[in-house]
Amino acid sequence: MAQPEEPRGNLVRPYAVTRGRTEPRRDIPIEAVLVASQAALQEARFAGHDKYRIAVLCEAKPQSLAELSAHLRQPLGVSRVLVADMVADGLLSLHSAAPKTGFKERMDLLERVLGGLRKL
């Protein structure tokens, strides 16, 4: 679904897409996988063009935040704000690959991986 290249560039400034907000409602990792909910397409039609495009992309197949940002041709920060709003509104389901463990457990894992790499 390639879109034709706009020779004049994006006419809407990124801060206008998020209504001046630069911080998302919640932190969403760049690798987080997003899936559209059952009502996402119907409700996103009234939420704006960019949110509707996100809903269409996530309905077709699960997408990461990075993929959505690339498809939208928007800065990652703008996509993160839009996606966080949609997750808060129940339009998207968030599936994070981030470990549910604490800092110490992650550091132990990283040290074991580093030790294994040194042995190679």
Q: What is the pLDDT of residues 27-57, one digit of tens each?
A: 888 888 899 888 887 787 777 788 888 999 9
- Note the pLDDT tens digit of each residue in 61-103: 999 988 998 998 888 888 898 889 889 888 898 887 555 556 6
Percent helix, percent strand, percent coil in the chain, to nearest 5: 50, 10, 40
Secondary structure (3-state) at 45:
coil
Q: Is the pTM of this model over 0.75?
A: no
* pLDDT above 60 for 9: no
Q: Per residue in 10-35, is it b (16+ CB within 10 Å) or e — as a string?
A: eeeeeeebbeeeeebeeebeeebbbe
